[in-house]
Structure 1
Amino acid sequence: MKIPPKLLYSCIYWVVRAMYATLRFRETGRKRVDAMIAQGIPMVFSLWHDELFPVVHAKRDLELIAVISQSKDGELLADFMERFGVKTARGSSSRGGVKALLKVSKAMERDRLSSCITVDGPRGPRHKVKEGAVFVANRANAPIVPVRLHMSRSYKFKRAWDKFQIPIPFSSVHVAFGEPYYVPEGSLEKDAFDRECQKLEDRLNAL
């Protein structure tokens, strides 16, 4: 018997909530983020696709909108994120990408939301920054915040393009927030986009 999607997603949500309760989280660099939240400054949180799973803990009082792909896997992820209070914009590099990024930048300007973007998703190459986060930060005039989530023990999907990680229950997760920074204002040419993508990639690798 086929399980209805809504029932399946609900079951996954409660299993994940129970698993989260066993994890030990440690954060560094959060004070800089909290200071910007207090000032009402939206931010572009940028992270690797394989480290996305524990991000809902780091969310806490942040009002977030995330770009999620329009694939079948993306449907599951979007439902998962929305159940944890994260708004979503559906799109990817292959389908609806620009439209989704524009929706995110408008939500940041209009509703003062921060955004969460997996910078190498949805298909890779793994740990190579694409233009999405830079585009949104430039469009919304918002600072980029590099984020890494280091899991002490995790299950890795080795056949997946990103080697997606899920923390093992009772393990620890270190959430490292990098220094917020702004990209240049105004229209950016391809060379400028490439430089900004490399800058973000370097900062992520350094965390």
Structure 2
Amino acid sequence: MRQIGQEILVHLFTGYLKLLEKTVNVQWAENSMCGGSQIFGFWHEDSFFMNLVLAELAKQTSPVDVIVTADTRGDYIEKMIKRCGGSALRVPDGFASFGALKGILQNAYERTRSIAVALDGPLGPRHEPKKLAFYLSEQAQEDFVGISVSYSSKLRLGWRWDKYVIPLPFSTVTVAAHNYGEVDKKHIPELPTSANAPECGILVKEI
């Protein structure tokens, strides 16, 4: 029954994404990617629309793999990513993640692929970035690109920890992709939570 429920959700979500793709006006406030493989970071609340953003980014850079939790929460997310033309990398929580991350880095070297990760995922706290994306940037010696999104009209799921956002059809979505260069987990950039926020690219937070 759980699998059937997941299939229904995936069908509904992918159908809605197709509607958004046809009706939403996407504006780029910034796009400073350098091409080639990169590490993309975004806020978990923007995960739904990021399916369409990453599909667009993949046209400008190497194919994008998205890191997804290995537990059951990630099952339907992986199916959504695949049906939208992406690839999911399942990573367990805690110490078990180290072996999986080692394999991800090795594959990135060999296959020249970009990696995307929700900075405050999988379970928050909201807008507090974890070190994973910056560790990957440091180890792979790849540029980190922070992606922030703003919506002119949306539904926000206020009862969720991430205040998950679902944009509405015929709205405008503004996307900013800022290249911070190679970063490391001890110097995390101060990342804007909105594409309309003031640019924060030169500030860093010591960890």
CA deviation string 1:60-83 (max 9, x = no partner): 214101111123331111111111
Count of aligned pairs: 189
Q: Contact 2:41–2:117 at 8 Å: present in 1 too?
A: yes
Aligned-partner Cα distance in 2 for 1:120–1:147 = 13
Question: Which residue number corresponds to residue 68 of structure 1?
Answer: 68
Q: Contact 2:65–2:116 at 8 Å: present in 1 too?
A: yes
CA deviation string 1:141-173 (max 9, x = no partner): 101011101111211111111111110111111
**SS of aligned partner of 1:183:** coil
The reply to whether residue 196 of structure 1 matches residue 173 of structure 2 is no
**SS of aligned partner of 1:50:** helix
CA deviation string 1:170-207 (max 9, x = no partner): 111101011331125xxxxxxxx3x323x2xx133554
Deviates more, 1:122-131 or 1:17-26: 17-26
The reply to whether residue 44 of structure 1 matches residue 45 of structure 2 is no
Deviates more, 1:57-66 or 1:5-14: 5-14
**SS of aligned partner of 1:56:** helix
**SS of aligned partner of 1:53:** helix
1:95 to partner: Cα distance? 7.3
Aligned-partner Cα distance in 2 for 1:165–1:10 = 18
More helix by share: 1
Call closer, same or farther: CA 1:3–1:56 in 2, change over 3 Å: closer
**Uncovered stretches (5+) of structure 2, i.e. residues with no partner:** 200-207
Question: Which residue number corresponds to residue 203 of structure 2?
Answer: none
Task: Give TM-score scaled by structure 1 length.
Answer: 0.81
* Equivalent residue runs for 1:93-104 within 5 Å: 93-94=93-94, 96-104=96-104
1:3 to partner: Cα distance? 7.5
Question: Which residue number corresponds to residue 150 of structure 1?
Answer: 150
- Segments of 4+ moved more than 4 angstroms: none
1:46 to partner: Cα distance? 0.7
Aligned-partner Cα distance in 2 for 1:44–1:148 = 14
**SS of aligned partner of 1:125:** coil
Question: Which residue number corresponds to residue 49 of structure 2?
Answer: 54
**Uncovered stretches (5+) of structure 1, i.e. residues with no partner:** 185-192
* Equivalent residue runs for 1:179-194 within 5 Å: 179-183=179-183, 193=185
* Equivalent residue runs for 1:165-180 within 5 Å: 165-180=165-180
**SS of aligned partner of 2:170:** coil
The reply to whether residue 122 of structure 1 matches residue 110 of structure 2 is no
Percent identity, aligned pairs only?
20
Q: Contact 2:155–2:165 at 8 Å: present in 1 too?
A: yes
The reply to whether residue 164 of structure 1 matches residue 152 of structure 2 is no
CA RMSD of aligned residues (A): 2.2
More strand by share: 2
Q: Contact 2:25–2:172 at 8 Å: present in 1 too?
A: yes
Task: Give TM-score scaled by structure 2 length.
Answer: 0.81
Aligned-partner Cα distance in 2 for 1:173–1:45 = 18
Aligned-partner Cα distance in 2 for 1:71–1:45 = 22
Q: Contact 2:143–2:179 at 8 Å: present in 1 too?
A: no
Deviates more, 1:136-145 or 1:9-18: 9-18
